[in-house]
Structure 1
Amino acid sequence: MRTFATIATAGLAAALLAGPVAQAQQIKGADVYHSACMMCHQAQAQGAAGLAPPLKGSYWGELGKLPGYVPGVLLAGMHGPLATDEGQFNGVMPTQNRLSDAEIAAVSNYVVREVNGQAAAPAVAALDVAALRAKPPTVSELRGMRKKALPK
């Protein structure tokens, strides 16, 4: 009986310790997108005129190569003029730093890899987001990244 109790207790402890890890692995970028981003960027990531730029378009082929760009924008927010395939936008995106590291990683990968079809783009992991969160980029730094990736 003691052996069964020890095994059961060890199994329960392992399940409890793995709980947050298992939950983080189950986070789906599409779910995070629909709950945190869709209101402004719309269901198909097409954006909303005068409100939010599209999160898809030809420029994402280059932005998708920058693994720190999307999570950086989510952590720092974005404001000011922004050129896209759909034209110029000049608005304010508030920081989304209330999202967990795993949620930011999941939605970053969703936008780049699934919405924009960039399956070969570098994946963003929760640990990458945690490192960015410790020292988030500034909006100026994010604009610099964007300008370097999209020189036109």
Structure 2
Amino acid sequence: MLDIAPNFNHLAIQTDDVDATVRWYREFLGTTVEWTLEEFSPLTRARLPGIRRLVELRRGDVRLHVFDRDGHSRRDPDPLGYQYQHVGITVERPEDLVELREQWLRAHERTEVRWAREEPPSDIVTDADGMQSLYVLDPNGLELEFVYFPGGGA
């Protein structure tokens, strides 16, 4: 058996507009820019041809690496293709889900970005165990799930 206990570090988001995506996450989640890169290793350039800039955004333990590439297809993710379907982010209180939904609506109204998929946030749903979820899209069509676990269980 593998004797390693990995920890999650970041989610990388490829976009065709780094500045708009950074503005969106600042407005929606209140993220801050931790650092920016514009020079990359040969390995990174081989893996991500055309990469021009990468910005790390952070709020709490959530880190997002937003980057662009020359020749982006400008297509949203294929919902039936292989991809990470969504990313789950926990919150401490059920009221946080209500506030996040309202903040998404405010950020959507205040931030000028091109939307890959124009869908409002979901209703807050509760499963049989009391877990509550809110699903939202970012401007690139990527889905985030915010989750509240009763009793702090994850």
Task: Specify the TM-score bucket, using the shorter chain as the normaliser.
Answer: under 0.3
Q: Structure 2 length as normaliser, TM-score?
A: 0.27
Greater helix fraction, Structure 1 or Structure 2: 1
Q: Structure 1 length as normaliser, TM-score?
A: 0.28
Greater strand fraction, Structure 1 or Structure 2: 2
